[in-house]
């Protein structure tokens, strides 16, 4: 099924993990995809995994753009190039992010600023640049926040603060732009099998502690998160806006008590 035929989709952080899986999913469903990230090599690796037969739209249906989303001028240029090539923007997926560990007493000012710049300010810059175009197409935004943007974690002060900002920015953008015909939602993953969570995946004790809290008893895959993103971006979710959707195997259903 080609739910996104003739749609133009921007995916930030498309070089790996959730962003790569999401870009591939959109392309498989007919979209023209703009792959955005800081490293050209990883973007090209994602591009190689896009479907070869994209003739249901036209012959040139993706573009890679190296862009640091924490730099507003680079974001503006990325959006300009997207519109120049494809003529419009239908869907924006704000996936780029970074994990910064440490208690607030251990973090440097640079650590804090970097976490806020990439996770929160970058989301703001891309939304601000894209929304005028999304108003024209009655498009939508899916932000990739985190379960850490709904509840806290030990030793993750900067990341938690930044993702909480993304979570509430999502709600506010939905309120501000619903009348413009623009829907804004977010997915809030828990531990997912990406490079960002290697410290948990590679530590059996930490992984077992997490899995003990998970009703489904497994880590999410990038493809699990991509499925939720594409649902929220699709017409199947046409009456859904302002939602922060946990994609966490049921972890957030618990009040924290141990399993008896």
pLDDT at position 110 over 90 = yes
Residue 198: predicted pLDDT = 56
What percentage of the chain exceeds 70 in pLDDT?
90
pLDDT at position 203 over 70 = no
Q: What's the whole-number mean pLDDT along residues 127-139?
A: 98
Reported as half-sphere exposure (CB side, CA atoms, 13 A), residue 99 has a value of 17
What percentage of the chain exceeds 90 in pLDDT?
76
Q: Are 31 and 109 contacting, i.e. CB atoms less than 8 angstroms apart?
A: no
How far is the C-alpha of 9 from the C-alpha of 232, rounded, in Å?
13
How confident is the model over 29-69, as pLDDT tens digits?
999 999 999 999 999 999 999 986 544 444 478 999 999 99
How far is the C-alpha of 155 from the C-alpha of 136, rounded, in Å?
42
Task: Quote the tokens at residue 141.
Answer: 């935004």
Residue 231 pLDDT level (bands cut at 50, 70, 90): very high
pLDDT at position 213 over 80 = no
Q: Where are the alpha helices (DSSP H) in the chain?
A: 17-28, 40-48, 72-86, 109-116, 122-137, 157-177, 198-201, 204-212, 222-233
How confident is the model over 249-258, as pLDDT tens digits?
888 888 777 7
Q: Are 66 and 45 contacting, i.e. CB atoms less than 8 angstroms apart?
A: no
How far is the C-alpha of 31 from the C-alpha of 161, rounded, in Å?
33
How far is the C-alpha of 237 from the C-alpha of 4, rounded, in Å?
13
User: What values do phi and psi take at 89, rounded to 5?
Assistant: -130, 125
pLDDT at position 22 over 60 = yes
Residue 59: predicted pLDDT = 46
Sheet holding 62-66, edge to edge: 62-66, 32-37, 8-12, 91-94, 140-144, 183-189, 244-247
pLDDT at position 260 over 90 = no
* Mean pLDDT computed over every residue of the chain: 91
Residue 220: predicted pLDDT = 86
Q: What's the whole-number mean pLDDT along residues 179-206?
A: 80
Q: Which is catalytic among the residues 62, 125, 159, 210?
A: 159
How far is the C-alpha of 53 from the C-alpha of 175, rounded, in Å?
39
Strands 244-247 and 8-12: unpaired
Q: What's the whole-number mean pLDDT along residues 150-166?
A: 94
pLDDT at position 204 over 80 = no
* pTM metric for this prediction: 0.92
Q: Are 117 and 165 contacting, i.e. CB atoms less than 8 angstroms apart?
A: no
Residue 95: predicted pLDDT = 97
More confident residue, 220 or 112: 112
Identify the structural domains of the chain with CATH numbers, from first to last. Answer: 8-197+223-245 (3.40.50.720)
Helix (H, G, I), strand (E, B) or coil at 219: coil
Nearest by Cα to 5 from 127, 91, 92: 91
Residue 250: predicted pLDDT = 87
How far is the C-alpha of 239 from the C-alpha of 231, rounded, in Å?
12
Taking the mean position of all CA atoms in its chain, how far away is CA 224? 13
How far is the C-alpha of 45 from the C-alpha of 89, rounded, in Å?
23
pLDDT at position 135 over 90 = yes
Task: Quote the tokens at residue 239.
Answer: 């009456």
Residue 57: predicted pLDDT = 43
How far is the C-alpha of 137 from the C-alpha of 131, rounded, in Å?
10
pLDDT at position 108 over 50 = yes
159 catalytically annotated: yes
Which residue has tokens 């001028």?
73
Taking the mean position of all CA atoms in its chain, how far away is CA 243? 14
Q: What's the whole-number mean pLDDT along residues 190-201?
A: 70
More confident residue, 148 or 197: 148
Residue 56: predicted pLDDT = 46
């Amino acid at each position: 099924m080609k739910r996104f035929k003739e749609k133009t989709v921007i995916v930030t952080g498309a070089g790996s993990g959730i962003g790569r899986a999401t870009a591939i999913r959109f392309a498989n469903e007919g979209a023209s995809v703009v792959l955005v990230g800081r490293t050209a090599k990883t973007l090209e690796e994602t591009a190689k995994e896009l479907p070869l037969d994209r003739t249901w739209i036209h012959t040139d249906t993706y573009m890679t753009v190296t862009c640091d989303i924490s730099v507003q001028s680079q974001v503006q240029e990325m959006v300009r190039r997207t519109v120049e090539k494809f003529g419009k923007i239908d869907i924006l997926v704000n996936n780029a992010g970074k994990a910064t560990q440490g208690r607030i007493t251990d973090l440097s000012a640079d650590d804090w600023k970097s976490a806020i710049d990439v996770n929160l300010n970058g989301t703001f810059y891309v939304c601000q640049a894209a929304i005028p175009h999304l108003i024209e197409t009655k498009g939508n935004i899916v932000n990739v926040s985190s379960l850490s943007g709904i509840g806290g974690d030990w030793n993750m002060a900067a990341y938690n603060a930044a993702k909480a900002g993304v979570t509430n920015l999502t709600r506010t953008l939905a309120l501000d732009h619903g009348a413009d015909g623009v829907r804004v939602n977010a997915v809030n993953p828990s531990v997912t099998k990406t490079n960002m969570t290697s410290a948990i995946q590679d530590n059996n004790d930490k992984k077992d502690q997490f899995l003990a809290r998970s009703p489904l008893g497994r880590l999410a895959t990038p493809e699990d998160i991509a499925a939720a993103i594409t649902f929220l971006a699709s017409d199947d979710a046409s009456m859904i806006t302002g939602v922060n959707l946990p994609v966490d195997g049921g972890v957030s259903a618990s009040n924290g008590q141990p399993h008896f």
